[in-house]
Amino acid sequence: MSFVDTLRQWDEAVTSVDKKNLPGALETFLAIEEPNSKIYFNIGCLHLLNKDYDSAEKAFDSSIRKDAHLAVAFFQRGIAFYKKERFEESLGDFTNAYKALRGNQMIDYKALGLRYKLFACEVLHNMALAEAHLGNWKNAQENLQKALDYKTDSKLNLIDKAFQSILKQKLFRLVEFPSCELFRPNKHYVAELEKKDYLGKAKVVASVVPEDQFSGFAPLQPQVQDDPVSPKEPEVLKALEGKPHIVLFEFIPETSDELAVVPGNIVFVLKKGADNWAYVIFNGREGLVPYNYLQPLNLSPTSKKPEGITTPPTRDPPVRPKRNGDQSPAARIRAEQNKKDTDNNCIIKIHFNFTFAISIPLGSSYKTLLDKISDKLELETTSLTLSLTPEATGDSVIDSNTDMKSVWSKAVDGRLTIWCKTYEAPPEPQICFVALHTYESPNPEDLSFQEGTRSFYCQEVRTLLFFF
C-alpha cells in the first residue's frame, strides 16, 4: 500500500471518530496494510473504548515495537493492564513511560498530531496506584512524594487527594487517557490528497460547414459572410496562463509571499525575476518559488503526456537562492554578524543519562562550558564531572586545571563530544553520643532513654538516627 493510500484511510478513520462512528473508524484503521506506530496507537485506543483489553494490549505492543520511545503508548498499555487487573505489568509500563519523559515535566504531542499532554505527575500518580494494589503502600507514598516535584497548579488537587487516600491505605481513581483523542495525519499532506484539475475542461469542436476545414480546440466560429468576426481566444490557453513547469524538489516557504510545493506538482510561471525567483500560480494560489527548483514542460494539446515528467529526482536539491531587497541594511548587517557568530560556534554532543547538544563559542573557558551544561541539566556545577572519554580517568578529565586549548583542538569541523557524569559526595560522618543520665520524656514527641544508651547523630540530616 502506498503512502498516499495509507494517508487517505488514516484521514477517513479520524473523520469517522469525529462523527462518533467508532466501529467504522476501527474497521478503516484495521484495513490499513502497513500501519505505523501512531496508527497502531489509535487502534489500541479504540479497542480500549470498546473495553476489548486483549486487543488493545496487542495494538499497543505493535505501537511500541515501531517506536520504543513513545511514552504515551507505554502509558496506554499500562492502563490496559490495569483494567485486566495485571498490576505488576501495569506498574512496569507506567515506569517505562516515566523513564521516557527523561526528567521533563510533561510531553506535548501536538506537534506529532495528538492533542494531548502527558504529565510526569500523572504517570507517577498511576505508578502509586499500581503499587497500592500490590500492597506496597510505602512505595506508593514515595511515588506521590516524587510527583510533587513535577506538579503543576492544575494537578495539585489530584496529588493531594491521592496522598490523603494513601495515608488511610485506601485506593484512589486512575488517571486515564481522554477518549477519542487520536494521532491525526499531517494536515498539509491531507490537503494534497484532493484531486486538482490543472488543465480545465477542453472541448474538441469540428465544423459542420463543408468549406470549413478547421478541427481543434477552438470553438466553432459563426459563418457570416457580411461582417468579419474576430476569433475568440481558445479556452485552453486561458486555463494555462503562464508557462508550465514541473517541480523537481520540495520547497518549504519561509515568508508569506512564498508558495509551498512538492516534487511532481505542475506550476505556471507568470514572471521570472533576475534574482532567480519565479512568480508562479498553483492550485489557484500565487507566490514565489526558486526557479532552479523547476523544469519547463510541454503541455501542447497534441502531446500524449506532459514532457519532462519522470521519476522523482534523486540528486540533492539546489541551494535556496538569495533574494535581493528583502532586508534593510541594518537587518543585513545583523544577519552577517549572526553568521559570523554561528561560524565561530562549536557544537558539543554531551553523553549523559541521555544525549543532548549545546552550542558555545570555540575557545570558551572551562567555567563557560560547565555553566552551559549545568543550566541545560538544571544541576549544580559542583555535582558534574566532564571528560573526553566515557571513563573519567587521567588526562581525559576536564576541570578548572585543564588547558582548554588542548580540549578545543580536538574539535573536528566545529564539533566535539564530551561525557558528563554526576558526582556523588561521600556521606557526612556520624557522631556517637553516650547518655550520662536517664531521661523520661513528659511529652509524646520527645524520646526517652536510659543512662549509658548510645546514639548516632548525622550532620547531613541533622537528626538522631537510632539508639541501642
Query: If you write DSSP's letter for every residue of 321-378 in order, what string do you get?
Result: PP-TTSS-HHHHHHHHHHHHHHHTEEEEEEESSSEEEEEEETT--HHHHHHHHHHHHT
The whole-number pLDDT of residue 324 equals 56
CATH topology of domain 341-422: Ubiquitin-like (UB roll) (3.10.20)
Indicate the fold that domain 3-167 takes in CATH: 1.25.40
pLDDT score of 287? 92
Assigned CATH class of 235-310+319-324: mainly beta
Kindly report the number of other CB atoms within 10 A of residue 18's CB atom.
Answer: 11
Alpha carbon dihedral 149, 64, 113, 197, in 10-degree steps, equals 170
Q: How far apart are CA 407 and CA 307, in angstroms?
A: 57
Q: How distant, in Å, are the alpha carbons of 79, 205, 237, 272, 281 from that of 243?
A: 58, 25, 10, 10, 10
Distance between CA atoms of residues 362 and 347, nearest Å: 9
Asked whether the domain spanning 430-467 has the same topology as the one spanning 235-310+319-324, the reply is yes
CA separation for the pair 67, 90 (Å, rounded): 19
The CA–CA distances, whole Å, from 375 to 72, 252, 442 equal 27, 33, 50
| pTM reported for the whole predicted model | 0.44
**Residue 363 backbone phi and psi in degrees, to 5:** 90, 10
Residue 461: the pLDDT is 44
pLDDT at 329: 47
- Cα–Cα nearest to 292, from 321, 315, 262: 321
- 33 CB-contact burial (10 Å; exposed 0-12 / middle 13-18 / buried 19+): exposed
Q: According to the model, what pLDDT value does residue 94 have?
A: 94
- What are the residue ranges in the chain where pLDDT is below 70? 1, 194-240, 299-316, 321-343, 423-430, 443-446, 456-468
Give per-residue pLDDT as tens, 216-268: 555 555 554 554 445 544 444 444 578 899 999 989 888 888 999 999 899 99
Domain 430-467 in CATH 3.30.1490: no
Whose cell is 505501537? That residue is 63
Q: Give the pLDDT of residue 342.
A: 55
Position 449 scores a pLDDT of: 77
pLDDT, position 466: 46
Strands 415-422 and 345-351: parallel
Give the start-to-end residue ranges of the domains of the chain. Answer: 3-167, 235-310+319-324, 341-422, 430-467
The SS3 call for residue 290 is: strand
